[in-house]
A and B are shown apart, each in its own frame.
Chain A
Amino acid sequence: MNTETERGGTARGAAPLIQTRGITKQYPGVLALDHVDFDLKPGEVHILFGENGAGKSTLISILAGVQSPSEGDVYFRGEKIDHESVHHARELGISAVFQEFSLVPQMTVEENLFLGAEMTRSGVLDKAGLHRRAQEIIDRLGFPLRPGDRVHHLTRAEQQMVEIAKAFRSELSVLILDEPTASLTDRETEQLFELIEQIKAQDVGIIYITHRMQEIRRIGDRITVLRDGRYVDTVDAADASEEELVRLMTGRVIDELFPTIAFNPGDEKLRIDGLTTADRTVIDASIVVRAGEIVGLAGLVGSGKSEIMRAAFGIDPVSAGRVTLKGEDVTGAPTRALMNRGLFYIPPDRREEGLVMMRSCRENMSLPSLDRPPFSKGGFLDRVGELRMVNDLAERMNLQPRRVERAVDHFSGGNQQKVLLAKCLTRPVDVYVFDEPTVGVDVGTRAAIYAFIRDLCEAGAAVVLISSDLPEILHLANRAYVFYRGRVMAEVTGDDITEENLLKHFFEREAA
C-alpha cells in the first residue's frame, strides 16, 4: 500500500515501461516476427494472444534478453536498450518465467532462487542470509515451498512456483509470464492472480501469455493479438469477446470450440475395481467405461485422476484391485499386452514422455505399432507401407507443415500434439485414454483435437478424458468421476455435469 501512495504520481496513462518499434526476427528460412510494435504500461497486465507459432515466444524472449532482434528497437522507460543477456535484462528489472524451466534439479529451492546472484559476505556465500531471503520471497508469494528441498523432489507445479519465485528475487519492473498456470491447481492459480494484483499496484508491468479465456477475463487489461509473426490488433480486455479474439487470432471464424457429440453408450469396455497403487496415489478407486461414451476424470493435479489410468496401463505398479478390459482380467499386465488388447494411453507431457523429440514424425507415429501391418511384414519393417500410412495420418491430422521426415522437435507445440495423437491411430484401439490432451495448444488446434475425440467416440470407441481444464470435462464428457486425494468422490452423469457439481467434490473432504 505504501508503495502505491509513494508512486501515486505515476498516472495510469503514463509513459510505457517497454516499447518496441518494428521488431523483426529472422531465422534462416523463417520470419518469426515481422515489424511488431508493442508497448507495456506500468501497472497493467498485457496479454499476448495468438496461435502456437504466432511469434509470442520469440517476442518475449527478445524482451527478456534471451535473443536479439534482427531489426527494430526496444525502449525501456523511454531509453533505447540493447540486451546482451538475460542477466542485463534482470538488472533492469525485467524477469521472465518461461514454460521450459531453467532449474538445476539437484540443487535446493533456495540455491536455485539465487543462482547467478548469490549474496556473499567477504567472498564467502552468505548461506544464512540466502536462506532468510528465500523464505521471505516464498512467504510473500504464499507458495507451499521449503527453501531446503531439492528441486527434483518437487512436482511440476511446485517447480513452476520456484520459477516464478526466481523473478521476485530482485527489484521488479517487468514480469513476463508464459502460460504460468498450465501446471498449477486452481488454488495455486488463484494465489498467483492475487500476487499479480499486488505487484500491479506497485506499478510493475506484466506481460502474460495464455490461451485460457477465463484468465484473460480475470486479470487482463489489454490484449495484443499476433498472427504468423505479425501484429494484428490491441484491444481492451474489458470489451473483447471470445469470438472476436479467436477471429483475430486465427483470421477466421470458429463457430464452436466444443463439438456436439452423439453419445451411444454400449458394452462395458474397461472396468477398474477398488484399485490402489503401490505408492498410494490412488486408493480403492473404481470406474467403468463403456463403448461410445466419453468418461471425464476431473480433480486437482495429483488427485489420482491421471495415476489411476497410468496404473491401469501398466506404467505404475498396482497393489490391490482389479482391472478388467473387455471382460478379461488384465491387472498388472505389461503395457505391450494391454495395447494388444485395445487400451491406449496418451500421456500429458509430450516432451517428457510422449515423443522422441530428435526423431522424425514418421518414426514417432509408427513407434507403437511396428509389430503389425502396414508397418511390418514377416519380421521386417515395411517401410513403404509405413510411409503410406504415416502420410495418411499426417493428412488426417492436418500436420503443418506436412513433412513427416522432419524431426518432431522442429514443429510447433500444436503440431507436436497432433503427432502424439496420431500414434493412437496406428492400431485398433477400443479404449482411448487422453491425459490433458490440449495442454499448451492454441484454440484452433484445440477445436481440431475436440473434433478428433468426438469422431473416435461416435465411431464406437470408449474414451477416457483426463483433464484439469474444467470446461473440457463439462462440454465433452457424458459421464464424469471426480477424484480427490486418490479416491473417487463422485460420479456425475449427463446434465448433472455442471461446474458447481464437480467443484464441490474437488475439496469436499478438506472442508469436512
Chain B
Amino acid sequence: MASSETQSAAPRRGLLHWTKVLFIRLGVLPFLLVIAVIIFTLMSDNFLTGRNLTNVVRQSVYLMIVSLGQMFALLTGGFDLSVGTILAITSVVGASAMAASYAVMPDAVVLCILIGSLAGIAAGVVVGICNGIGVAVFGVSPFIMTLGMSSVGFGVALFLTGGVPVYGMPVEFGEIFGFGKLFGIPVPIYVAALLVLVTFLFVNWTRQGRYFYAVGGNEKAARLSGINTRLTLFITYVLTALLAGIAGMLLTARLDTGEANIGASMPLESIAACVIAGVSLRGGVGRVENVVLGALFIVLVQNGMNLARIESYLQMVVLGALLILAVIADQIRLRYIAGSND
C-alpha cells in the first residue's frame, strides 16, 4: 500500500507542477476551455459533434472580430463602449445604401453589395474617428467619449430608420456573406480568419503594432522614444470601429435586414472576451491568438448552455461569474509571476 502511494505521488506532483507552469505560461483560458468542453459533452450528446462545433465557430465570428478591435482599445489603456452602436449604425446605413442602390440598378448586384458594405463600414468608421479625435486630441477619457458616442450613434441609427428594420437588400448578399459556404466552411469564417491573420501580423510584425503596447504601457516613455502617441491613440479607435463595422456588415448579411437593435451585448461581451484572454485593463498586455480563443470560449459556453437547456436568465449569471473568475485567476497568475521573479 505504502509503496504504491509513494509511486503515484511522484507523477501527481509532476502533473501539478506542469499544470502550474502551463497556467503561468498560458493563463486560465485553456483550462476553462477544456473544462467547458468536458462539462457540456457530458450534459448534451449533441455538443461534441462536427456540425455543432462548426456552428460554434460560425456564431463566434462576429464577437471575435469585434473583440479584435476591442483589444486595440484595451492595449492602449482605454476601451471602446461604442462597439455595439458601431454595429448598429453600420447595419442600418449599409442596408439602406445597399437597398437604395439595388432599387436603382437591380442588375449590378456585385456593385450594390460593394456600395452598401463600404457605406456601412464607412459610417461605423466615422464613429471611430469621433472617438479617436475626442480621446487623442482633446484628451477625453475613453470611458466618457465612447459612452457618449454610443448614445449618439444609437440615436442616429434609430432616427434614420424610425426603429424599423431595413429591407430590400439583394438576396445574394445574405446568401453569400450570411449563409454561404466554400468547401463546406461558412464564408464568414473565412472573413474572420483573414482578419485574425492580418491583425496578428499587424500587431506582432509592424512598428505601429508595437507602438500600441508602448503607448498603453507608458505613454510618456513612448513619447520620449519618438512615438507619435496621439496618432497611435487615434488609429486605435479608428481600427476598433473598422473591425466592428466589418462585423456589423457580416451580421447584417446573416439577418438579411439592417437593424438598429443589434450589438447591444457587444461592449460587455467583447471586453469579457479580451479580459478572459488575459488582455490587461491597464494597457500594454495582450495577445491576438488569446483574444480569438476568448471570443470562441464565450460563444462556446453560450452554445453549450443552450444545448443543455439552461435558461437564458441563468446564462447571464454564468457569463458574469466567468468574467469575474477569469480576472481573479489572472490576479493569482500575476502573483505567481511576480513571486517567481521571471
Give the interface segment out of A100-108, A195-203, A357-365.
A357-365
Is B207 positioned at the interface, with any CB of A under 8 Å from its CB? Answer: yes
Alpha-carbon gap, A110 to B333, bound state (A): 37
Is B312 positioned at the interface, with any CB of A under 8 Å from its CB? Answer: no
**Majority secondary structure of chain A interface residues (helix, strand, loop or mixed):** mixed
A29 touches B340 (CB 8 A): yes
A355 touches B210 (CB 8 A): no
Using known A-B contacts A356-B214, A357-B217, A381-B206, determine if residue A367 contacts B340 with beta carbons closer than 8 Å. Answer: no
B213 touches A355 (CB 8 A): no
Residues of chain B contacted by A27 (CB below 8 angstroms): 339-341
Q: How far is the CB of A371 from chain B (nearest CB, A)?
A: 6
B285 touches A358 (CB 8 A): yes
Q: How far is the CB of A425 from chain B (nearest CB, A)?
A: 13
Q: How far is the CB of A255 from chain B (nearest CB, A)?
A: 33
B207 touches A381 (CB 8 A): yes
Residues of chain A contacted by B209 (CB below 8 angstroms): 381
Give the interface segment out of A155-163, A280-288, A322-330, A331-339.
A331-339
A356 touches B284 (CB 8 A): yes
Is B14 positioned at the interface, with any CB of A under 8 Å from its CB? Answer: no
Per-position 1/0 for B213-244, Cβ under 8 A of A: 11001101111111110000000000000000
Residues of chain A contacted by B280 (CB below 8 angstroms): 358
Is B313 positioned at the interface, with any CB of A under 8 Å from its CB? Answer: no
B220 touches A30 (CB 8 A): no
Per-position 1/0 for A231-270, Cβ under 8 A of B: 0000000000000000000000000000000000000000
Using known A-B contacts A353-B224, A359-B214, A381-B206, determine if residue A406 contacts B342 with beta carbons closer than 8 Å. Answer: yes
B341 touches A370 (CB 8 A): no
Instruction: Point out which of A336, A352, A353 has the most chain B C-beta atoms below 10 A from its C-beta.
Output: A353
Is B205 positioned at the interface, with any CB of A under 8 Å from its CB? Answer: yes
Contact of A334 among B213, B218, B220, B228 (CB under 8 A): B228
B218 touches A357 (CB 8 A): yes
With CB as the reference atom, state the residue of chain B lying closest to A310. Answer: B224
Q: How far is the CB of B230 from chain A (nearest CB, A)?
A: 11
Q: How far is the CB of B339 from chain A (nearest CB, A)?
A: 4
B210 touches A367 (CB 8 A): yes
Residues of chain B contacted by A359 (CB below 8 angstroms): 213-214, 217, 284
Residues of chain B contacted by A358 (CB below 8 angstroms): 217, 280, 284-285
A362-412 residues at the B interface, CB under 8 angstroms: 363, 367-368, 370-371, 376, 379-381, 383, 406, 410
B221 touches A356 (CB 8 A): yes
Residues of chain A contacted by B201 (CB below 8 angstroms): 380
B156-213 residues at the A interface, CB under 8 angstroms: 201, 204-207, 209-211, 213
Contact of A363 among B214, B223, B228, B340 (CB under 8 A): B214
Using known A-B contacts A357-B217, A381-B205, A381-B206, determine if residue A29 contacts B341 with beta carbons closer than 8 Å. Answer: yes
Is A347 positioned at the interface, with any CB of B under 8 Å from its CB? Answer: yes
Alpha-carbon gap, A385 to B154, bound state (A): 47
Residues of chain A contacted by B206 (CB below 8 angstroms): 379-381
Residues of chain A contacted by B210 (CB below 8 angstroms): 363, 367, 370, 381
Residues of chain A contacted by B338 (CB below 8 angstroms): 410
Is A28 positioned at the interface, with any CB of B under 8 Å from its CB? Answer: yes
Instruction: Point out which of A335, A340, A345 has the most chain B C-beta atoms below 10 A from its C-beta.
Output: A335
B213 touches A28 (CB 8 A): no
Alpha-carbon gap, A30 to B228, bound state (A): 39
With CB as the reference atom, state the residue of chain B lying closest to A356. Answer: B217
B224 touches A345 (CB 8 A): yes
Q: How far is the CB of A350 from chain B (nearest CB, A)?
A: 8
Residues of chain A contacted by B336 (CB below 8 angstroms): 28
With CB as the reference atom, state the residue of chain B lying closest to A426. Answer: B225
Q: How far is the CB of A61 from chain B (nearest CB, A)?
A: 14
Alpha-carbon gap, A381 to B204, bound state (A): 8
A267-319 residues at the B interface, CB under 8 angstroms: 313, 315
Using known A-B contacts A358-B285, A381-B206, determine if residue A347 contacts B224 with beta carbons closer than 8 Å. Answer: yes
Is A354 positioned at the interface, with any CB of B under 8 Å from its CB? Answer: yes
With CB as the reference atom, state the residue of chain A lying closest to B339. Answer: A28
Using known A-B contacts A356-B284, A376-B207, determine if residue A335 contacts B223 with beta carbons closer than 8 Å. Answer: yes
Q: For this complex, into which size category does the number of interface residues on chain A fall?
A: 35 or more
A367 touches B342 (CB 8 A): no
With CB as the reference atom, state the residue of chain A lying closest to B217. Answer: A356
Is A423 positioned at the interface, with any CB of B under 8 Å from its CB? Answer: yes
Residues of chain A contacted by B223 (CB below 8 angstroms): 315, 335, 353
A354 touches B214 (CB 8 A): no
Alpha-carbon gap, A347 to B221, bound state (A): 9
Using known A-B contacts A336-B228, A353-B224, A356-B213, determine if residue A370 contacts B218 with beta carbons closer than 8 Å. Answer: no
With CB as the reference atom, state the residue of chain A lying closest to B285. Answer: A358
Q: How far is the CB of A117 from chain B (nearest CB, A)?
A: 29
Residues of chain B contacted by A336 (CB below 8 angstroms): 226-228
A335 touches B226 (CB 8 A): yes
A368 touches B225 (CB 8 A): yes
With CB as the reference atom, state the residue of chain A lying closest to B228. Answer: A336
Residues of chain B contacted by A338 (CB below 8 angstroms): 226
Alpha-carbon gap, A315 to B219, bound state (A): 13
B304-342 residues at the A interface, CB under 8 angstroms: 336, 338-342
Residues of chain B contacted by A315 (CB below 8 angstroms): 223-224
Residues of chain B contacted by A347 (CB below 8 angstroms): 220-221, 224
Per-position 1/0 for A180-211, Cβ under 8 A of B: 00000000000000000000000000000000
Q: How far is the CB of B96 from chain A (nearest CB, A)?
A: 37
Q: How far is the CB of A58 from chain B (nearest CB, A)?
A: 12
Residues of chain B contacted by A335 (CB below 8 angstroms): 223-224, 226
Alpha-carbon gap, A352 to B224, bound state (A): 11
Using known A-B contacts A358-B285, A367-B227, A380-B206, determine if residue A353 contacts B341 with beta carbons closer than 8 Å. Answer: no
B342 touches A29 (CB 8 A): yes
Q: How far is the CB of A268 from chain B (nearest CB, A)?
A: 24
B339 touches A371 (CB 8 A): no
Using known A-B contacts A352-B220, A376-B207, A383-B205, determine if residue A367 contacts B341 with beta carbons closer than 8 Å. Answer: no
Alpha-carbon gap, A217 to B223, bound state (A): 40
Alpha-carbon gap, A118 to B17, bound state (A): 47
Alpha-carbon gap, A376 to B224, bound state (A): 20
Q: How far is the CB of A358 from chain B (nearest CB, A)?
A: 5
Alpha-carbon gap, A338 to B226, bound state (A): 8
A354 touches B221 (CB 8 A): yes
B214 touches A28 (CB 8 A): no
A367 touches B214 (CB 8 A): yes
Q: How far is the CB of B281 from chain A (nearest CB, A)?
A: 12
Q: How far is the CB of A464 from chain B (nearest CB, A)?
A: 15
Alpha-carbon gap, A28 to B228, bound state (A): 40
Using known A-B contacts A335-B223, A359-B284, determine if residue A371 contacts B217 with beta carbons closer than 8 Å. Answer: no
Alpha-carbon gap, A354 to B225, bound state (A): 9
A410 touches B342 (CB 8 A): yes
**What 3 pairs across the A-B complex have the smallest Cβ distances?**
A356-B217, A353-B220, A336-B226
19 contacts between A and B (CB under 8 A): A27-B340, A29-B342, A334-B228, A335-B226, A336-B226, A338-B226, A345-B224, A347-B221, A353-B223, A354-B224, A356-B217, A358-B217, A363-B213, A363-B214, A368-B226, A371-B207, A380-B205, A381-B204, A410-B342
A residues lining the B interface (CB < 8 Å) = 27-30, 313, 315, 334-336, 338-340, 345, 347, 352-359, 363, 367-368, 370-371, 376, 379-381, 383, 406, 410, 423
* 19 extra interface residue pairs, beta carbon distance < 8 Å, beyond A334-B228, A358-B217: A28-B336, A28-B341, A315-B224, A336-B228, A353-B223, A356-B214, A356-B217, A356-B284, A358-B280, A359-B284, A370-B207, A370-B211, A380-B201, A380-B205, A381-B209, A381-B210, A410-B338, A410-B341, A423-B225
